[in-house]
Amino acid sequence: MDSFPEENYQISWQERQTFAENMQPKIGLLFRNKGIEILVYGRTLLNASPIDIIKAHKAVTLHEDKVLLVRESFPFIDAINNMRLSPARIDVGKLAYNYYHSDKSGDLSISQYLAKELVSIHLQDLSIQNLETKRQDIVLYGFGRIGRVLARLLIERSGPNSQLNLRAIVLRPGKSNDDIEKRASLLRRDSVHGAFNGSISIDKEQNVIRANGAFIKVIYANSPSEIDYTQHGINNALVIDNTGIWTDEEGLGQHLQAKGVAKVLLTAPGKGDIKNIVFGVNQEMILASDKIISAASCTTNAITPVLKAVNDEFGIKNGHVETIHSYTNDQNLIDNYHPAPRRGRSAPLNMVISTTGAAQAVAKALPELKGLLTGNAIRVPTPNVSLAIMNLNLKKLTDKDTLNDYLRNMSLKSPLQNQIDYTASNEIVSTDLVGSRYAGVVDSQATIVDEERAVLYVWYDNEFGYSCQVMQVMLEMAGITVPNLPKSF
């Protein structure tokens, strides 16, 4: 007698779960032993649960006509484990799909196909010395919302092949004897991003936070220049300034006066001649000689990649960007004095019209759009995830399907694939985007096109997505290149 449909489904689910469970430790070993990060259609599987792995494979159907099964990508993980490769981000989803559902594989075995696709990072003919990983000491100066998200991202990538090595966080002198415990607790528990994925403990005598193998020194200081990082074994460090106190060269230059510091990265828009970098758009502006760089703002990072993509294909005459932005720590919890207009009113109770320099800041990354965009912001009573509404006048006539198909392709097969994500869901809301690792997510269902006028809605996790962009700028400043494979553009 044939099995009932529900029995067939259960058998299929158990098969997927088994493959995902067997895949999980192999993915971890690849990253720890070789610095290889595994993805499926842009979604990282690093520290992913078996259910996350299954969901990533299921999401492939949003972009392709055919299903990608977990058992189809599983042998690719095995084969990659048996290869000698330099650090890279490898999308096994794209590799497996192309192998099974296109004519790119020919009569090649999986191993032969991978040798062809990964030839640029294959170390078969190189000596073992070339496997050594370049490591950059990182110091987080400030430990607020962005600082703690960056710490999570750095810690999840800690290990012998970690390229960015979190060595210390710097704080103002503690106001209580349990300051370090409170800092560790804020890292351990987060009302927006959830519990820390791992183990955290402290060594109060040494002022150290231990997290998943990372040994992080906690340094208390009143100013950047008074610190001697070399006393803590930290040399040529890249300092990430998350405080927002200094945004010009004079202020940020104080970090360079400290022993053991080589460069500074600001996680806010930089003033004056400081280069504002939106990774994926203008990172080639970073020179080895640059000492101070800005990673721009979360909104600038969210909108610039999409604006570049649209301008490259359709041209932009002019436009307006309205940001529906979650409230930030700069606003008041209840009504109180604030030097900025309107921001003194209670953030959890009000929509607050504010200003944003993001539209003008786009020009620093995309000079061709200088003077073409205006912008404003509305702070709303949500703690995280924001939405940029871009009302654009284009140089070419188009329609909704054409524009959406183009942006969908850019999210999968372009140099901007790590910055632009794309959703076709008509049910998505802001909380669904918490933890998104992309600079911005195009909401295709909300796209409006009327001949040369287009309105695009771009979601972004203004904490997590932005921090992922900051991580990429860190690597670029450290002179570390992590290729994305396979190349599909």
Residues marked active site are found at 298
Helix (H, G, I), strand (E, B) or coil at 294: strand
- DSSP assignments along 434-471, one per residue: TT--SSEEEEGGG-EEETTEEEEEEEE-TTHHHHHHHH
Give me the residue label for tokens 């570390």. 480
Rounded CA gap, 332 and 337, in Å?
8
The tokens of 3 are what? 């099995």
Phi and psi angles of residue 129, each rounded to the nearest 5 degrees, phi first: -65, -25
Q: What are phi and psi of 216, to 5 degrees?
A: -110, 115
**Comparing C-alpha atoms, which of 85, 90, 86, 94 is closest to residue 60?**
94
Counting every residue, how long is the chain? 489
Round the CA-based radius of gyration of the chain to a whole number and report it.
23
For 395-418, give one letter per residue: b (16+ CB within 10 A) or e: eeebeeeebbebbbbbbbebebbb
Amino acid (1-letter code) at residue 428:
I
* Per-residue three-class SS string for 106-161: CCCCHHHHHHHHCHHHECCCCCHHHHCCCCEEEEEECCCHHHHHHHHHHHHCCCCC
Question: Could you give the 3-state DSSP secondary structure of residue 77?
Answer: helix
Number of H-type helices and E-type strands within the chain: 12, 21
- The residues with which 85 forms a beta bridge, in sequence order, are 122
- Identify which of 56, 52, 59 has the alpha carbon closest to the alpha carbon of residue 21: 52
- Cβ–Cβ < 8 Å for 181, 187: no
Pairing of the two strands 214-220 and 208-211: antiparallel
Nearest alpha-carbon partner for 466 in 423, 412, 415, 419: 419
CA 87 to chain CA mean position, Å: 18
Return d(Cα 181, Cα 178) in angstroms, integer: 5
Residues 6 or more apart whose CB falls under 8 angstroms from that of 412 comprise: 41, 42, 63, 422, 488
Cβ distance 139 to 229 under 8 Å?
Answer: yes
